[in-house]
Amino acid sequence: MNLLPDHAPAGPGTCPGHARRFDDWAASYDLSPLQTVLYGPVHDAVLRYARQHVPHPGMILDVGCGTGRLPARLASAYDQARVVGIDASTGMIQNAATTTVPRRSRYAAAMAERLPFADAVFDLVVATLSVAHWRDKAAGLAQISRVMTPDGALVAAGPSAARPFPPMTRRARRSRSWLAGELPALIAACGLQVERVEPIASVATIADTVMVAARAPAGAAATRPARRGTTAVRPVPGP
């Protein structure tokens, strides 16, 4: 099943202007020491929880996938699944498409608030650290809810209210109260059932980061309507 080509660019005006700073960062992103002390351990926590609670997903989506490090790990951990990564930064997506093994992985430049997928496609959705940079968190979570299958799972991670993670801290500080206090409520408001909220202890010396896990009610896909302006991209049979 091929939802997207190896690198599917977004349509005109899809990605916000602030994504350009991530375009500039893309070339050196994987060389940052934060990969070892922050991003990698957060990915470890999310992947560990997913493996324990979502053993056999068929379709996986990473919202804010950066250069594709977590999608690559997901594809390796779930050898029967198809993995799709989206990011608002075209530079990040180009990096992901050229440096990761394309087997069962696809990438597209797109915003969380305008996911280019049909309803009820993904059994597992992950969103790590990028959530703090979404322009409209409620809209992004509503889109995630829309594309999740009944009984599908969301595992999200990001900075808590106490101490935002190091990069792009000015934007994080402007909305620093949202994640620890508001994210579970925002997730619940879009029709998902919050199952766990816990700190990620492995990065506690660097940043106060939390993981929030939620699940779509069984049989609820039809009750989560698509938001206006959503492009429905139907999956088509592949080889």
CATH code of 134's domain: 3.40.50.150
| Confidence bin at 64 (pLDDT 50/70/90) | very high
Domain-located, residue 11: no
Over residues 155-168, the mean pLDDT reads 62
> Mean pLDDT across the stretch 175-186?
60
pLDDT at residue 14 tops 50: no
Residue 78, number of CB atoms within 10 A of its CB: 23
Q: How many Cβ atoms are within 10 Å of 223's Cβ, its own excluded?
A: 9
* pLDDT at 19 (0 to 100): 57
pLDDT score recorded for residue 124 = 98
Q: Based on the structure, what is the number of domains in the chain?
A: 1
Q: Tell me if 239 is assigned to some domain.
A: no
The per-residue pLDDT for 174 is 44
Torsions phi, psi for 159 (to 5 deg): -70, 145
Instruction: Evaluate whether 170 touches 145 at the Cβ level (below 8 Å).
Output: no
At 110-131, the pLDDT tens digits run: 999 999 999 999 999 999 988 8
Does residue 112 lie within any of the structural domains?
A: yes
Lowest model confidence (mean pLDDT) among 18-22, 78-82, 97-101, 171-175: 171-175
184, 161 contact by CB (below 8 A): no
CB 121 within 8 A of CB 3: yes
For residue 3, being part of any structural domain is answered with no
Q: Is the pLDDT of residue 175 over 50?
A: no
Which segment, 104-108, 143-147, 201-205, is predicted with the most confidence on average?
A: 143-147
Higher-confidence position of 164 and 46: 46
Pick the residue with more confidence: 81 or 100?
81
Q: Which segments within the chain are labelled E, that is strand?
A: 7-8, 59-63, 82-87, 105-109, 122-128, 148-159, 193-199, 209-215
The pLDDT score that the predictor gives to residue 172 is 40
SS (H, E, C) 173-219: HHCCCHHHHHHHHHHHHCCCEEEEEEECHHHCCCCCEEEEEEECCCC
More confident: 212 or 174? 212
Q: Residue 15: inside a domain, yes or no? A: no
Does residue 27 lie within any of the structural domains? yes
Strands 105-109 and 122-128: unpaired
Q: What pLDDT is recorded for position 194?
A: 95
Range of the domain at 143: 22-221
Bridge partner residues of 198 (DSSP)? 211
pLDDT digits (tens, 9 = 90+) for 182-192: 778 888 899 99
- Higher-confidence residue of 49 and 206: namely 49
> Is 238 a domain residue?
no
- pLDDT over threshold 60, residue 83: yes
% of the chain beyond a pLDDT of 70: 62
**17 domain-assigned:** no
The pLDDT, as a whole number, for residue 199 is 84
